[in-house]
Amino acid sequence: MNAAEPDQTFEDEASLQLNDDGSLRHLLTLKGLDHSTLVDLLDEAESYLRPEGALPARSGALAGRTVANLFFEPSTRTRASFDLAGKRLGADVLNLDVNTSSRKKGESILDTIYTLEAMRCDIMVVRDASAGVPAYIAKHVKDHVSILNAGESDVSHPTQGLLDLLTIRRHKGNFDNLTVAFVGDIRHSRVVRSTAWGLRTLGVDSFRLISPPAMAPDADDMPFATIVDNLEEGLAGADVIMALRIQRERIGNLDGIPSIDEYFANFGISHDRMKLAKPDAIVMHPGPMNRGIEIEGALADSAQSVITEQVANGVAVRMAVLARVAQSLGRR
């Protein structure tokens, strides 16, 4: 980010994302998003789910609208599901090829956004490696434009958080008395920073953040969670276990980061280790997954794994978010 693109705080983001009447204007963060908005989005997403083999849900909720996907970092699941979600709601969807976009020629992100605004893009979906970018853009767009955060540095990934909440709700029924364990590179994970804050708002109060010391978060980062450096201790009696990828692209200095074999031996989730968790515990992973590093391949493919359901729920959640902001676009 250059000097003209200042950092935003969470407080800015949380207040920026709602209209005066409380409806969703942008989706920038789950931290600070209220209980009723979260539940409303999950309920709306649920309405788009269809059994495997059935045709996917469709509607004309976004007919005439244009959604632009701007992914300045790699993505498979998030980008494909925003693309499908927009199309299934009847929008025109523009997938900008950022490798050939003018931002590579030095154009500022705001000039790219203003260009798309002039082409009548209504909803911009943004993934960027720098903290503060989605909120910064949201502050500068016209009243009739919405910004959706599709992954912001190691800070947040709100639609991933929502799809995790939906997946957990569908398996556990509610959020009472759950123990949720995240395992892996907690320090650099934007996923844990969205999913955990969303779960917290929905009533979960037992969180374990399990990682080698070099990948542990600061104590005041998620103050409601217990930081654990022993996998067995962290998994004991857990209801939900989420494995996370080592975010090598965000780790400047790899000193203290264990080798792959050492990592799997101490922090890899396997069938054997799952015996420590509750018998009906579910295993999650946001993808992309590194089999044999953070998770045993056979466990990822087992009945305990809900990883492909997370992907299916991701399309539904993104449809829900698009539909909600489009509703408020109509009123602005």
Nearer to ligand NCD, 37 or 160 (CB): 160
Q: Among residue numbers 156 through 195, which ones bind ligand NCD (CB under 6 A)?
A: 157, 160, 190-191
- Residue with Cβ nearer ligand NCD (86 or 286): 286
Nearer to ligand NCD, 78 or 201 (CB): 78
What x-and-dash track marks residues 270-309 binding ligand NCD by CB under 6 A? ----------------xx----------------------
Nearest residue (beta carbon) to ligand NCD? 245
DSSP assignment of 143-168 equals TT-EEEEEEETTTB-HHHHHHHHHHH
Interaction between residue 234 and ligand NCD (CB under 6 A): no
Nearer of residues 145 and 186 to ligand NCD, judged by Cβ: 186
DSSP output for 93-148? EEE--GGGSGGGGT--HHHHHHHHHHTT--EEEEEESSTTHHHHHHHHS-TT-EEE
Please say whether the beta carbons of 62 and 89 come within 8 A.
yes
Q: How many CA within 13 A on the CB side of residue 28?
A: 25
Instruction: Name the minimum Å distance from CB 36 to ligand NCD.
Output: 26
Among residue numbers 100 through 139, which ones bind ligand NCD (CB under 6 A)?
none
Q: Which is nearer to ligand NCD, 141 or 264 (CB)?
A: 264
By beta-carbon proximity to ligand NCD, the closer residue of 77 and 140 is 77
Please give the residues from 17 up to 56 whose contact with ligand NCD meets the rule CB under 6 A: none
Among residues 279, 302, 300, the alpha carbon closest in space to that of 291 is found at 300
235 binds ligand NCD (CB under 6 A): no
Q: How far is the CB of 275 from ligand NCD (least distance, A)?
A: 26
3-state helix, strand, coil in the chain (%, to 5): 40, 15, 45
At which residue do the structure tokens 């892996």 appear? Answer: 184
Angle at 183 between CA 189 and CA 237, to 5 degrees: 140
How far apart, in whole angstroms, are the C-alpha atoms of residue 153 and residue 329?
Answer: 27
Q: At 154, list the tokens.
A: 């190691």
Interface contacts to ligand NCD, rule CB under 6 A: 77-78, 151, 157, 160, 190-191, 245, 286-287
